[in-house]
Structure 1
Amino acid sequence: MKASDAWGGGIVDPTDALALLMSPEGRLDPYPTYERLRAHGPVVQAGPVFYVVTGYAEADAILRDARFGVMDDALRDQFMPGWRESPAVLSISRSMLRTNPPDHSRMRRLAAGAFTPRRIAAMRDVVRAQADELVDAMLAADEPVDFMAAFAYPLPVGVICALLGVPAADRPLFRRWATDLTGVLEPEITADELAVADRGATELRDYFTELVAARRRAPADDLTTALVQAHDGGDRLSGDELLANLIVLLVAGFETTTNLLGNGLVALLEHPRAAAALRERPDLAPAYVDELLRYDSPVQLTSRMSTAPSRYGDVDLPPESWVIVLLGAANRDPRRYPDPARFDPWRAQIAPLSFGAGPHYCLGAALARLEAQVAFPLLLRRLPGLAVAGRPERRVRLTLRGHATLPVSVGREAAPVTVPGTPPGAAGPTP
């Protein structure tokens, strides 16, 4: 069955809808398939012990429920025989991303000092200065400019590398390595894709092995030094955990934000009245960024395994159920957000699940928000003629949704357009 046929004719079986979601066409635009799944309820059984969650309330509750955790070593042995032979799976599994308490709590606590509200707020001027430099370079470049390569990648990678103490000269290396590695986060992966992910994991591990050795010789005021000292100080962080968490902090520190900047810019350019309002009112940026996160989430799903019986959405979930929480679908749940397919930064109580919830809530969420809150008003103010200048290319990914390329014309720098007395309703879709 072709994806287009399924969309046109309707889907009765949630298993078929899930297969469609995993197809290349389904990954490029998952939102129609989410609605096919939602038609069966907020929690849907798609296999003997396999469930899919599309409801906002149910997703939020499951992510906070202590009866649900991430897949541990014993379950990986059951579902992924031979996983220890994969550098990519092994790296992710030894990080805070794929561990449960108490190990997760211990690792997260060690890294949390770099992401306190005070430290994040103090980075605003640094982020603004970096964003200004990138816009200067865009203005000096030949058009069209690939926004992903020129701005969406270098801004967040520069910020997270500064936190980790990665030299500026090394930062261009990480985009391919991270792109390769993050394939392992997809719900389905082929042997060829796994080989690519393993290559990225190996290169990242080799890099951080050298950086760790350098910080042992010459400590610095950065997160890498702090984690090295935690490892060397005793049993608080093993060697595998040290390297795995450095890799995950780097990759997670820019992949999500890169996708947020690309997805968000497209949404703003498709809604020029909303963009004009933000250009004139940068103080509106927090609500805009939350709505952009909701409208086209850079992270579309996460998964959990149940350890005890539970009941959600009138569905009984037995122990060892595998639950796919579709964050992108939950963010468009009409029970939570009226007219959810409409971009509307004036919504009340925007609280997207794009960064998760509960113990695994994204450690760098505040930093990602800060970067976007600085970047979008700055781009719109300095580049009022900014426009898509060609066909954007989506990455064929579901978990991490974003663009591979996004060609734009930047025009010339000019004074911002004045939009006097913009009422709340003006931020809606352009007629």
Structure 2
Amino acid sequence: MPSERHFRRTARLERPPRGCPLASHWICTGCAGTAATRFAPHTNGDTMGRVEFEIIEGIKEIDAAAWDQLVGADSPFLEYGFLRALEDSGCVGSDSGWHPQFLVARDSDAPDRLVGAMPLYLKLHSMGEFVFDWSWADAAQRAGIRYYPKAVVAVPMTPIQGRRILVDAALAPDDALAIKKTLVETAIDFAQKVGLSSVHFNFIMPDEVAIFEALDLPIRVGMQFHWHNHNGAEDAQKYSDFDAFLGRFRSKKRANIRRERRKLTNAGVRTRVVAGAAVTPAHLDRVFDYYRDTIDKLEWGRQYLNREFFQHLGEQLPQRLHLVMAEQDGEEFGGAFNLYKNAGLYGRYWGCTKEVEFAHFETCLYRPLDWCIEHGVEVFQPGAQGPHKYDRGFDPTPTYSAHWIRDPRLADAVGQFIAHERAEMRAHIKELRQDSPINR
């Protein structure tokens, strides 16, 4: 347990460089907002000295190996390569409205050692977050409360659950818990120092919820549809093949899925998985074209990523790439872009140059499920939205976010909204599970 905790406030507030999107606001630079915490010796006899918390303006200023050591087996979207690709391509930083302010914790006795971190961004808008707070911003404006800039702890443009409080797995449990709590407290303290309206911790992991609850932050509950590789039996065996998965469906739903796949086969449509080192720059060029085509077709579509991002990702994180390419009579016409890591597959983008009935389901759901079953992948998260996923065996799954709001009037109103929404969402998830197309 921590024997002593003290904070060394040496914040230095400066205006950002000319041209920075936050040029009209005071922001924290360098070692601004540092805090120090003293911990008791580890039970193994090693002594960790004072832990200092520091804001760093960009992932490129952090050692890649040190960052990824904190990420461990967690989401590929938290890995250095993914975050670096976002920065190098200009999708965050500059005039994007996402300004990196990574919060890191260092062992002062070994400054190169990171013992904790948090992917924090200053935001000038609410786009690309997928935990929607537009109504909160509108309410703030009506009340004369400035809502932007704010802070978001998340992976930009990525509605995927992942750990938002990263700590060194080698830490003693008490030390790890103390650092997690202090990371959250320091993020809030940083927001207060620089005059931000709020801090939003989006798509946190279920086992992180208790940390935020202990700090009296309201927990918002959302919903996505995830697939889990187990047959529903008490011993929870993985599926042996796609037919074993279909065997859990009610007969009508099972027949519908088989009909959809059969119709594509009869139409000469084939899909293939291209993953890891097999993915070439040409593949990624086409994936970007498919991504942009989908955005152009959607009335509300917004392009957050550019061609350079996909190419940088191919250079920075090739081992995580997973593409499903669709062709008809030998001519490619569409594809899905996914990432994978350890026991998880994560769907992100899809597009096509021509419309072929059921091609979306095959490319984004059925073929990835084939691959997951073949490779023993435990969880497939195909992204936000999509009641069509529910009809095809994806479970309604709660997602969580935590929110700190500076103005007490807005905080009270948002807290009441979250409590009401949370009760409704939990009831909705329960109802969907009871009516699931899968026999339980």
Higher relative helix content: 1
Higher strand share: 2
After TM superposition, is the score higher than 0.5?
Answer: no
Interval of TM-score (by shorter of Structure 1 and Structure 2): under 0.3
The alignment's TM-score, normalised by the length of structure 2, stands at: 0.24
